[in-house]
Amino acid sequence: MSDCVFCKIVAGQIPSTKVHEDELTLAFMDIGEVNPGHVLVAVKPHVDNIYGLDDTLAAAVFRTAARVARAVKKAYAPEGMTLYQANGAAAGQTVFHFHLHLVPRYAEDGLRLTWPVKNPPREQLEANAARLRAALE
């Protein structure tokens, strides 16, 4: 996709600070890093979001994520690590080329994800799961 910033990074048309690359994935520093060691792991082919990942790409991106996460742990020894991955503007996605964030975490580092727990009754969970099982391909 010609106007996609991550496609341009993958193609070397705009600069990035690379950590690792292989045939299918590229890991590079997030220009807006939250904490040192904040890395983005992107797929090389243009895929808008998680719905476009085939099994090979899905496996490749998580293999790279786990490998780079181990490097972040070794290099920075953070107190925690958050994987963040947004699909669609409503979910907070701002670059519409599939990527996930590895964010080293520290207590009181200011990153907030509010999680409004609903605790529905078991029957509701059963109905939700049945709906999903019927939709599985």
Residue 16 within binding range of ligand 5GP, rule CB under 6 A: yes
101 flagged as catalytic: no
Residue bearing tokens 């490998």: 67
Instruction: By CB under 6 A, name the one of 20, 21, 24, 30 that touches ligand 5GP.
Output: 30
Residue 28 within binding range of ligand 5GP, rule CB under 6 A: yes
Amino acid at 52: G
For 49, the enclosing helix (H) or strand (E) is: none
Is the four-CA dihedral 46, 113, 59, 63 of positive or negative sign?
positive
Residue 99 within binding range of Zn ion, rule CB under 5 A: no
For the bound state, the minimum distance from the C-beta of residue 55 to ligand 5GP, rounded and expressed in Å, comes to 23
Q: Which stretch binds ligand 5GP (CB under 6 A): 54-62, 63-71, 91-99, 121-129?
A: 91-99
**How many residues does this entry show for the chain?**
137
Rounded Cα gap, residues 92 and 120, in angstroms = 25
Residue 25 within binding range of ligand 5GP, rule CB under 6 A: no
Residue 98 within binding range of ligand 5GP, rule CB under 6 A: no
- Is residue 82 within 8 A of residue 91, CB to CB? The reply is no
Residue 77 burial class via C-beta count within 10 angstroms: exposed 0-12, middle 13-18, buried 19 and up: exposed
Catalytic residues: 99
- The footprint of ligand 5GP (CB under 6 A) covers 5, 16, 28-32, 40, 86, 92-95
